[in-house]
Amino acid sequence: MEQVKDYFGCLVFNEQVMKAKLSSDVYKSLRKTINDGKELDISVANSVAVAMKDWAIENGCTHYTHWFQPMTGITAEKHDGFISPDGDGKIIMEFKGKELVKGEPDASSFPSGGLRATAEARGYTAWDPTSYAFIKDKVLCIPTAFCSYGGEALDKKTPLLRSMQAINNETLRILKLFGHDEVTSVKTTVGPEQEYFLIDKKYYDERPDLIYTGRTLFGKKTPKGQELDDHYFGVIKPRVQAFMNDLNEELWKLGILAKTEHNEVAPAQHELAPIFATTNIAADNNQLTMEIMQKIAKKHNLVCLLHEKPFKGVNGSGKHNNWSISTNTGMNLLEPGETPLENAQFLLFLVAVIKAVDEYQDLLRISVASAGNDFRLGANEAPPAIISMFVGSELQDVLDSIETGKPLKTKGKSFLKIGADVLPDLPKDSTDRNRTSPFAFTGNKFEFRALGSSESISCANIMLNTAVAEELRQFADILEKSKDFNNDLHELIKKTIIEHKRIIFNGNGYDDSWIAEAEKRGLLNLKSTPEALPHYLDEKNVKLFTSHKIYSETEIKARYEIAQEHYQKIVTIEALTALDMTNRYYLPCISKYSANITNTIIQKDSLNIDSTYEKDVVAKLSEGLKNAYIVKSSLEDALKEKDKFNTVEETSMYLRENVLKKMDTLRDIIDSLEEIVDEKEWPFASYDELLFGVR
C-alpha cells in the first residue's frame, strides 16, 4: 500500500514540483514574488503557466479554474478548458501567463453590497502566488483574489492578505527595536479546529429544514442526549472511521496537514484539527476541508452538517482559531523565550494583543456574528457573547507584578524588571485551561474560540491582524523615539496593562455573575448579530480599517450591507421553511391522526370499552393543533411585515425579536405533539434517527 509520505501533497503545485518543472531563473523570480510580494513579470508568468498546465495534464486535468472566495462565504469556480483550435480541425492544450495571473468572470451575481452595478458586471480574479495551485476533481485550481473593476475587494482573501501585510509592516518596526535586523518578513499563523456533525443521508433526505437551512427547525429531544459525556473522545464507529480515513487521504493529497480527529461532546459530532499554517493558506485549506468533508460524507451515505446549531438541546459546532505571529527566521513571537530580552519582547506582543482585544471587542464579536452562531454564543456551550481574554494564573501573576511593582507570587523576586529579569516558567497548554473563555492564551499562541463552524476563518483573522497591527504601530511610534529603551518599554507595558486589564477574565465565563461583572467593567455584551453588526461602522473602526488600507470606507459599507442582508435572508428562508413544513406536513398529519383516534373513540364508546387514553390524546392534539394554527398564522403575518422598515438595522432586529421568537413558539408546540403521535405517522425523521442513526 502506498504510504502517506509518498502521496502527501501529490495534488499540489508545491515547492518540490516547482523546482522540478521550472528553470532555476523562473523559480527564483517566482520565489521572490512569493516571499516579498513583488509583482510577477509576464514572461515568468508564461513559463509558470506552461509548467503548471503540463503538470496538471499529467495528472489527468483538462480544465483550470480561478478558485476564489466571494462574500457568499463559500468558494466559487468557473472551469475553462485548456483546449484551443490549432487551425487544422485539431486542438492543442494551451494555458498562458495572462490566464494564470488574471481572470475576468462575469461577477454580477455575487454579493457586492452595491459596489458593482450589474451594468459593470465584470470583476476580476488575480492569482495569490503565496497559496499553491492544486488539483481538485481533475481541475487545476488557482487560488485567486476577487475584485471589482475599480479594484474594490469583493472577496474574503483580498482583505486577509492586506491585513497580513499590515501586521508584517508594524511587527518589523518592533523587531528592529529589539535588534532583529535579520528578520525580513512576518506572517500570522493559524490552526483552525473544525467541528461538524455526521448523520445518515437517508434521514437527512427526509428533512426539508436540513436541506434548506442546514439546521432542524423542529424535533423533539431524545431521552438521552449528551448528558453522560460518553461521546466526547469516545470510540469512533467503524462507519465514521471509514469516512475519516477517506477524508484524511483526500486532504493529505492536497497537502492539508489534517492531524487530530475525535468524537465531540454531542452525539454524532466530531472534530478535525490540522497542523497550523500561514493564515491565508490556513483559510484556503479550511474552505477546502469543509467542502471535501461534505463530498466524502456523501460517498459514505452520510451528510456532514457544518451549521453552528443543527440540533436543539445538544451542543452546536464551532471553530477554534489558534493564532500566532511568526518570523521568516522561525521565531514565534508569542513564545515567551528564555532570556530577559526575549521575555521583554514577548510581553510587548502580549500586551499589544490585550490592548487590541479590548479596543476592538466589537470587531472581534462582529467577525463571528451570524444567524447560526447566535444560537451558540452565550448559550453555555460556547464562549459568551462578551469578548474577554484568559491568560492563566501564572501569566496573570507576571502582569500583576509589572503593574504593582510587587514581587511575583510564584518566585520570590523583589519585582519584575522588564528587560533585566527572566520570567518564571509558563506552562504550555496546561490541562486546566479555561474552556469558557472566548480568547485564551495557550502558552505560545492565542485561541479565539467564538468562531462558528460554517464560517470562513478570514473575517476573524482580518479583524485580529488589523487590530494588533494598529497597537504595534502605536507602540513603535513611541519606542522608536525612546532614549532609554528598557525603561520606556517597562513603562509602556505597565501602562497598557493598567489601561486594558479590564478585558482579562480568568474565571468561569458561563457564570451569570460574569455578565454583571463585565457590565461593571464596561465591556460590550452584543448578544446577537443584529446588535453586533452596526458597530462595523463606528468611527474608530472605520479609521482602523482605512488607515491600515484594509478596506476603503466604501468597502466597509458594502461589507456591512452584505452582512445585514445575509442575516435577513437566512432568517427569512428559515421562517418560510418552518411554515411550509407546518402547512403541508405537520398540520395535516396531526389532523388526520386525531381523526383516526376519534373514530376509535366512537367505536369503543359504542361497545362500551374504555377510551380514556384516546380521549386524552385527542384533547391534547386538538388543543395543540389549534395553537399551532394560531401561531403559524401569526408567523405568516409577521413575515409579511418585514419589508415595512426603513433601515436594515430595524429589519434585522425585527426578524430576531419577532420572526425568530414566533418560530420558537411554533416549534415548542409541534415538538410537544411529536411526543404523543404514533412515530410511524410522523412526517419526518426524528432526532433519534438523526442523532443516533449512524450505527
Residue 324 interacts with ligand ADP (CB under 6 A): yes or no: yes
For position 445 contacting ligand ADP by CB under 6 A, the verdict is yes
Q: Please list, residue by residue across 15-40, b when 16 or more beta carbons sit within 10 angstroms of its beta carbon and e when fewer do.
A: eebbeebbeeebbebbeebbeeeeeb
CA distance 389 to 443: 14
Q: Looking at the chain, how many residues does it have?
A: 695
Using rule CB under 6 A, residue 628 touches ligand ADP? no
- Of the pair 190, 368, the CB lying nearest ligand ADP is at 190
The reply to whether 260 sits near ligand ADP by the rule CB under 6 A is yes
248 forms part of the interface with ligand ADP (CB under 6 A): no
By CB under 5 A, is residue 320 in contact with Mg ion?
A: yes
CB nearer to ligand ADP: pick between 203 and 448 = 448
Distance from C-alpha of 440 to C-alpha of 389, rounded to nearest angstrom: 6
355's contact among Mg ion, ligand ADP, none, with CB below 5 to 8 A by partner kind, is none
Q: Which amino acid is at 666?
A: L
> How many residues interact with ligand ADP (rule CB under 6 A)?
16
Identity of the amino acid at 633: S
The residue within the footprint of ligand ADP, chosen from 332, 482, 627, 672 (CB under 6 A), is 332
28 vs 428, beta carbon nearer Mg ion: 428
- Please tell me whether residue 537 binds ligand ADP under the rule CB under 6 A: no
Q: Look at residue 304 and give its three-state secondary structure.
A: strand
Distance CA 139, CA 147 (A): 23
> Three cell numbers at 541?
473602526
Compute the distance between CA of residue 344 and CA of residue 44 in angstroms, rounded to an integer: 44
**Residue 14 interacts with which of Mg ion, ligand ADP, none, CB < 5 to 8 Å by class:** none
* Least distance from ligand ADP to the Cβ atom of residue 411, Å: 26
Residue 31 C-beta: closest distance to ligand ADP, Å: 23
Please report how close the Cβ of residue 285 comes to ligand ADP at its closest, in angstroms: 11
Nearer to ligand ADP, 445 or 667 (CB): 445
| Candidate list 276, 439, 475, 567; residue touching ligand ADP; CB under 6 A | 276
Name the grid cell of 76.
Answer: 466559487
Q: Decide if 566 contacts 559 (C-beta within 8 A).
A: no
The C-alpha cell 513559463 sits at 47
| CB of 387 vs ligand ADP, minimal distance in Å | 18
Instruction: State the minimum distance, in angstroms, from the CB of residue 446 to ligand ADP.
Output: 9
Residue 325 or 618 having the CB closest to ligand ADP: 325
- Interface with ligand ADP, residue 436, by CB under 6 A: no
Q: Give the residue with the Cβ less far from Mg ion, 437 or 541.
A: 437
d(CA 218, CA 331): 50
Q: What is the DSSP letter of 655?
A: I
Which residues, in sequence order, are CB contacts of 155 under 8 Å at separation 6+?
68, 69, 70, 71, 145, 146, 147
Selection from ligand ADP, Mg ion, none that 191 binds (CB < 5 to 8 A by kind) is ligand ADP
**Among the residues of 533-677, which ranges form H helices?**
539-547, 553-581, 587-606, 612-640, 648-654, 661-674
- Which of 113, 274, 318, 392 is close enough to bind ligand ADP by CB under 6 A? 274
Of the residues 168, 171, 269, 322, which one makes contact with ligand ADP according to CB under 6 A: 322
Which one of ligand ADP, Mg ion, none interacts with residue 318, CB within 5 to 8 A by kind?
Answer: none
Per CB under 6 A, which region of 190-198, 405-413, 540-548, 582-590 contacts ligand ADP? Answer: 190-198
- Residues in contact with Mg ion, shown as a per-residue x/- string from 169 to 208 under the rule CB under 5 A: ------------------------x---------------
Cα–Cα nearest to 440, from 360, 513, 507: 507
57, 222, 421, 609 from 620: Cα distances, Å: 66, 20, 73, 21
Contact flag: residue 319 with Mg ion (CB under 5 A)? no
Helix (H) or strand (E) holding 466: helix 458-479
Please return the burial class of 527, using the count of CB atoms within 10 Å of its CB with bins 0-12, 13-18 and 19+.
middle
Asked if 464 touches ligand ADP (CB under 6 A), the answer is no
Interface with ligand ADP, residue 320, by CB under 6 A:
yes
Q: Does 383 bind ligand ADP (CB under 6 A)?
A: no
Query: Among 376, 416, 374, which Cα is nearest to 395's?
Result: 416
Q: Which does 509 bind (CB under 5 to 8 A by kind): ligand ADP, Mg ion, none?
A: none
Pick the piece of the chain touching ligand ADP (CB under 6 A) from 64-72, 272-280, 469-477, 684-692.
Answer: 272-280
CA distances from 619 to 106, 609, 633, 669 (A): 59, 18, 21, 14
- Binding residues (CB under 5 A) for Mg ion: these are 193, 320
- Binding residues (CB under 6 A) for ligand ADP: these are 189-191, 193, 260, 273-276, 320, 322-324, 332, 444-445
